[in-house]
Chains A and B, each alone.
Chain A
Amino acid sequence: MTDLTSLTLAEARKGLAAKTFTSLELIDAHLSAIEAARVLNAFVMETPDQARSMAREADAKIAKGDAGPLVGIPLGIKDLFATKGVRTTACSKILGNFVPTYESTVTSQLWRDGAVMLGKLNNDEFAMGSSNETSCFGPVGNPWRRDGSNTTLVPGGSSGGSASAVAALLCMGATATDTGGSIRQPAAFTATVGIKPTYGRCSRWGIVAFASSLDQAGPIARSVRDSAMLLRSMAGHDPKDTTSVDIPVPDYEAAIGKSVKGMKIGIPKEYRLDGMPAEIEKLWSEGAAWLKAAGAELVEVSLPHTKYALPAYYIVAPAEASSNLARYDGVRYGLREQGKNIIELYENTRAEGFGAEVKRRVMIGTYVLSAGYYDAYYLRAQKVRTLIKKDFEDCFANGVDAILTPATPSAAFGIGEKGGADPVEMYLNDIFTVTVNMAGLPGIAVPAGKDAQGLPLGLQLIGRPFDEETLFSLGEVIEQAAGRFTPARWW
């Protein structure tokens, strides 16, 4: 039998339906792979007993013939999703040994459809980071290395554990979240597919909040089709999240293989940065050529406020974070450090429980919301956000179906290489992805090639609100042309 971990989700579904193997066999193969890959630090909690018992249930359902669309499929869950009875920490010391008494809506829908949880995945603390280095459990290793080098690289972030685990064949897909690029940037760094759906498409209920007006859940998987299958289960209306949208979830998989002939693809000139590596430029034009060969029409478009998206984000996101993270006070859950009075208890708990990046963002957020600065910073940033969204609206109003951009300004970098002296150096990683969150649009990152050192690079497609289907159709064209990429195993 071929190694069960190397199957795509779609292939595994066929094998399970044809009873070529059982879910329990599939799960056991993955549990062994996880055990052998602990050096990657992708999982912060393994749940083998629960996984086997869910697999047995899946096998029973398959035998009875009433199986859901993801029955028996092994998944990893980002540690930002509350999982009932299983420790959930957002990879922050301040949540300590928090064990939710409830299940997030997104994960409950995956279990409803038969999926099996292998464990919880590493991420940047409270999803604040672009390299997975801010996790209280330590950094995650990227399964990809530069040709001929032993240097361990970051998998990107914040969903670094999700991307690493999927790329290293430790799970067939993973949940992830994206506030400024946290699904798409790690997907690009690991040659996996990651989609951030339209704001409101997935319920945020039960996901540890970072910046509520930007946060969206989405899947990371090994093919465009697999990501479509996962999103179908994750998406949908939830009365418990007031920003979740009540429109039907399409069968995203049906969009795979659909013709893209006649589609108008925008190439935004503002994404052509000074000093952009030649190989990223080349990848971008190759992607455009593939879509053209498939019958799409390419047009140059202008998104004039692009350069202001990242600075506006670094006001809006920290402001919302400072408010959301006020709940970590050492009283209701998580870590508590003693103090002489209640103020000291709060201050000591938060000083001890939050890492450096989180403190920095909470403090900037507190500052931009404080009396006398609100108008100059927060209000201005929200106005700039309106302009960023309008850029996209104008573009779509001119008949553009989707926009093609690079996913990241570089390939993966080494642990400790970036952001040591100036935090902004790290923030620039999200320069191509953050606009999409600011405008609430869907965006998909698809592997498209490698750089001169053998590291994967990705392309991003940005779509109209709630038109994820077009992104899957176009993403499939890129995947067919570029092929799929698997790292050589070194762990």
Chain B
Amino acid sequence: MSVDAATVRRIAHLARIAVSEDEVPHLQGELNAMLAFVEQLSEVNVEGVEPMTSVTPMQMKKRRDVVNDGEIADDIVANAPATEGHFFMVPKVVE
């Protein structure tokens, strides 16, 4: 399988990465090189094989449903590029 220019633009949008028109051919070439490389997986017989979900066999750990952290709003917003009080600031999203 390979991707065309329209698919490259669609993937870039899904990935939320702005891509200019001149970058598209280059990215298309690189993505197609990677897709050509992974193409060899189609020769493997995976009939009846379970997909891997956990590389180390283990029971999912559970913890009590209690509050064990919190009251650290200052820490949470400490690295944000724009804040007001304990809120992250973003451009207007609702008209």
Confirm or deny: A47 has a beta carbon within 8 angstroms of a beta carbon on chain B: no
* Contacts A242-B60, A312-B41, A440-B55 given; does A342 touch B15 at CB 8 Å: no
Judging by beta carbons under 8 Å apart, are A386 and B50 in contact? yes
A333 surroundings in chain B (CB, below 8 A): 79-81
Confirm or deny: B4 has a beta carbon within 8 angstroms of a beta carbon on chain A: no
Give the docked Cα–Cα distance between A366 and B19 (Å). Answer: 15
Interface 9-mer from A145-153, A183-191, A376-384: A376-384
Give the docked Cα–Cα distance between A322 and B11 (Å). Answer: 11
Judging by beta carbons under 8 Å apart, are A245 and B58 in contact? yes
* Contacts A336-B81, A350-B15, A350-B18 given; does A363 touch B31 at CB 8 Å: yes
Give the docked Cα–Cα distance between A329 and B93 (Å). Answer: 15
Confirm or deny: A348 has a beta carbon within 8 angstroms of a beta carbon on chain B: yes
A377 surroundings in chain B (CB, below 8 A): 38
- Interface-centre pick from B1, B3, B11 (highest chain A CB count, 10 A): B11
Contact mask for chain A residues 62-93; partner B; CB cutoff 8 A; 1 contact, 0 none: 00000000000000000000000000000000
B11 surroundings in chain A (CB, below 8 A): 363, 366-367, 370
Judging by beta carbons under 8 Å apart, are A382 and B93 in contact? no
Q: Which residues between 345 and 369 of chain A lie within 8 Å of chain B, taking CB atoms?
A: 345-348, 350-351, 354, 359-360, 362-364, 366-367
Interface size on A, residues (CB 8 A): 74
Confirm or deny: A142 has a beta carbon within 8 angstroms of a beta carbon on chain B: no
Q: How far is the CB of A96 from chain B (nearest CB, A)?
A: 8
Main secondary structure of the interface of B (DSSP, over half): loop
Confirm or deny: A228 has a beta carbon within 8 angstroms of a beta carbon on chain B: no
Confirm or deny: A127 has a beta carbon within 8 angstroms of a beta carbon on chain B: no
Judging by beta carbons under 8 Å apart, are B56 and A311 in contact? no
Judging by beta carbons under 8 Å apart, are B44 and A243 in contact? no
Confirm or deny: A465 has a beta carbon within 8 angstroms of a beta carbon on chain B: yes
Q: Which residue of B lies closest to A386 (CB)?
A: B52
B42 surroundings in chain A (CB, below 8 A): 380
B3 surroundings in chain A (CB, below 8 A): 367
Judging by beta carbons under 8 Å apart, are B51 and A386 in contact? yes
Contact mask for chain A residues 417-449; partner B; CB cutoff 8 A; 1 contact, 0 none: 000001110010000000000111000000000
Chain A residues with a Cβ under 8 A of chain B: 97-99, 101-102, 198-200, 213-214, 239, 242-243, 245, 305, 307-308, 310-312, 314-315, 322, 326, 329-336, 339-348, 350-351, 354, 359-360, 362-364, 366-367, 370, 373, 376-377, 379-387, 389, 422-424, 427, 438-440, 465
